[in-house]
Amino acid sequence: MAKKEIQKIIVIGSNSFSAGSLIDLLLVKKFKVYGISRSKLNNKKFLRFDHQNKNFTFKKLDLNKDHNKIITLIKKVKPAYIINFASQSMVGQSWDAASDWFYTNSFSTVKLYDSISKIKDKIKLIHISTPEIYGNLKSATSENHNYNPTTPYAVSRVTADQYLKILCDRKKIRYCSIRASNVYGQYQRLYRIIPKTIISILNKEILKLDGGGYSKRNFIHIDDVSEATYKVIKNGKNGQIYHISSNEIISIRDLVKFICLKMNYNFSKLVKISPERTGKDKFYILSNKKLKKDLKWTPKITLDDGINRCIDWIKKDLSLFSKKDENYIHKK
């Protein structure tokens, strides 16, 4: 019996939170994974996968600076799939250096996709987008909702989304887009709200809550996101957008209160109200009906269970995490 050929996938932005979890799953599924990131593999506590796995190869390349090297690697590897997580994230900080966000999320990403569209090998591209492009929503929205970006970050992400659609319409590329709601879980960077809240409680530190924390979000555990992303990679229909979300809606304020209750800590003692972030959307919730119907996916991890996992993860290495800078550092 002939040995089944291992499928190859290139993961751009491989050191990110969501990419690391997906790579872990892909290695379990016996993929040959090529990771590309501008940062070194030096934050092992935030990388879920085994970077020494024989089926994982890492290349330190920057989307903004190493375009030709990335395209050369793609041509050499001949992957069945490419998934792009690379972007300048952090919505609030995009107001301070908007041009940096546009350079990565618009110019460099469009340049990458344009070059991929000219490669003759059959490659399926998975583009990781964001619900921020919808702006403030009043109810759960479907994938065909109009764009209404309200921040430099959101505007910078619209360009690549639209360019991919044009390429697909002209039959120049095969792709799917993914927009996930607020993703959380073990291995997430410490400046995000859930790990930051847990560490603040354990260290008895003050937690700043922008605008009182009344904006509502839809949190989904990283394991559910990875499973959904895998289904899109394998079976997502060409040119389609898929929302990944749970059905649990909660305000940031109530989320912090929920964690306080779990950890037996006084909310009023923990929180200090700070000014609201410029351009922050009050409400965005994504409908996951399409993903459930088309790809037979459903979220499995409740917010209650997911928070428990995060608390256990942080407690195991609290002394290490407490020494780390919890603030986001912008890289050009």
Model confidence pLDDT, tens digit, residues 224-279: 999 999 999 999 999 999 999 998 899 999 999 999 999 999 999 999 988 877 65
Please answer whether residues 127 and 173 qualify as being in contact, where contact means their C-beta atoms are separated by less than 8 angstroms: no
Collapsed DSSP state (helix, strand, coil) of residue 38 = coil
Structure-model confidence comparison of residues 283 and 167, the more confident one: 167
Question: What is the average pLDDT score of the chain?
Answer: 91
Taking the C-alpha atoms of residue 318 and residue 264, their distance in angstroms, rounded to an integer, is 18
What pLDDT, on a 0 to 100 scale, did the predictor assign at position 39? Answer: 86
Please check the confidence at residue 125 and state whether its pLDDT lies above 60: yes
Give the DSSP H/E element, type plus range, for residue 198.
helix 193-202
Q: Which CATH architecture has domain 188-217+249-281+303-323?
A: Alpha-Beta Complex (3.90)
First to last CA, the chain: 51
What pLDDT, on a 0 to 100 scale, did the predictor assign at position 120? Answer: 85
Burial grade of 197 (CB within 10 A; 0-12, 13-18, 19 or more)? buried
Taking the C-alpha atoms of residue 60 and residue 190, their distance in angstroms, rounded to an integer, is 23
CA angle at 153 for the pair 314 and 171, rounded to the nearest 5°:
110
The model's pLDDT over 2-43, given as tens digits with 9 standing for 90+, comes to: 567 789 999 999 999 999 999 999 999 999 999 999 988 767
% of the chain residues with pLDDT over 90? 71
Domain 8-183+220-244 has CATH 3.40.50.720: yes
Structure-model confidence comparison of residues 332 and 302, the more confident one: 302
What pLDDT, on a 0 to 100 scale, did the predictor assign at position 137? Answer: 79
Structure tokens at 45: 């506590």
**Domain residue ranges in the chain:** 8-183+220-244, 188-217+249-281+303-323
DSSP lists the bridge partners of residue 176 as 126, 240
Collapsed DSSP state (helix, strand, coil) of residue 73 = helix
Within the chain, what is the greatest distance between any pair of CA atoms?
A: 66
What pLDDT, on a 0 to 100 scale, did the predictor assign at position 19? Answer: 96
The model carries a pTM of 0.93
The model's pLDDT over 42-100, given as tens digits with 9 standing for 90+, comes to: 677 788 888 889 999 999 999 999 999 999 999 999 999 999 999 988 777 888 889 99
Burial grade of 194 (CB within 10 A; 0-12, 13-18, 19 or more)? buried
